[in-house]
Amino acid sequence: MDRVSRLPSTAPLGEGERFRPSTTTIGSLSLRMLLTFLTSSYRPASTYRNMQVASANPSTSIPTTIVSSVRCSSAQLKRAAGSQSLETLRSALLGWTVTDVDGMAQDVDASGGKGPLHMAAWQGCVENLTHLLDDWGCDVNVIARGEFSFGKTPIFFAATQSRADVLLFLLDRGAHVKVVNNKGQSIRSIAASHFEDPTIIDRIIQAEIGQANLPWRNYRETHGDGLEYGDLDPRFLDRPLRKTDT
């Protein structure tokens, strides 16, 4: 029998002798313990807490076997991002990388075309947004790719829910405002009908001026569905204004 597969001998030791396990035996036992952990369906809460160090540094390389064993689904991660619990989000991020988090919206079938940042902005979870942006380095301008939300960045989701605190927070984090979604709406046009405070519109206008070096991204031109919606930005209508337009 190969030495690596043998367990330590249980024969009595002579006087003055000490048990000295071989490194190959220790390595074999450690490997068995790791495999048992990875294949077990039981995960005590303390285990997840101890492993949260992995999510604290998303650039850390994690073995594929551990990722597949621990990582939650994209739907679970989105729900965690939209929760009001930073602890829940941190636990859900175990096994994910910042590239995967930002790229989640590209998989429309699995994610509905939205990612964690979109959900956190939609639900008004500033603490979760802070963690994803500042601690993880996620892209504040990642676009959604759903049928009715293509081109929307997180700030769009904040504006459509009239979340002034989230909108201003995202502006401070460098959110682009020179974006038109596939419906023909901009941040400015949505804000005009969702906020009564004129200072919100002023902040958006100032952001447009400050981003003068950036081109407009018009997803109405590239991914429009031919339908008309409310809150359209008149600067990007593909037809003349009508008297019925508001």
Q: What is the pLDDT of residues 78-109, one digit of tens each?
A: 999 999 999 999 999 999 999 999 999 998 88
pLDDT at position 5 over 50: no
Phi-psi region of 174 (alpha: psi -120 to 50; beta: other; left: phi over 0): left
Report the share of the chain in percent with pLDDT over 70: 71
* Cα 112 from chain centroid (whole Å): 13
Of the candidate ranges 27-41, 130-144, 200-214, the one whose mean pLDDT is the lowest: 27-41
Q: All domains of the chain, ordered by start, with CATH? A: 44-236 (1.25.40.20)
pLDDT at position 30 over 80: no
Q: Please give the helix or strand (H or E) that residue 179 lies within, else none.
A: strand 179-180
* CA 207/CA 171 separation, integer angstroms: 8
pLDDT at position 127 over 70: yes
Model confidence at 6, in pLDDT bands (50, 70, 90)? very low
Q: Which residue has the higher pLDDT, 147 or 168?
A: 168
Four-point Cα dihedral 218, 224, 230, 234, nearest 10? 40
**Summary mean pLDDT of the chain:** 81
pLDDT at position 19 over 60: no
Highest-pLDDT range among 18-27, 105-114, 167-176 = 167-176
Report angle CA 77, 123, 232 to the nearest 5 degrees: 115
Report the share of the chain in percent with pLDDT over 90: 61
Of the candidate ranges 32-36, 96-100, 193-197, 221-225, the one whose mean pLDDT is the lowest: 32-36
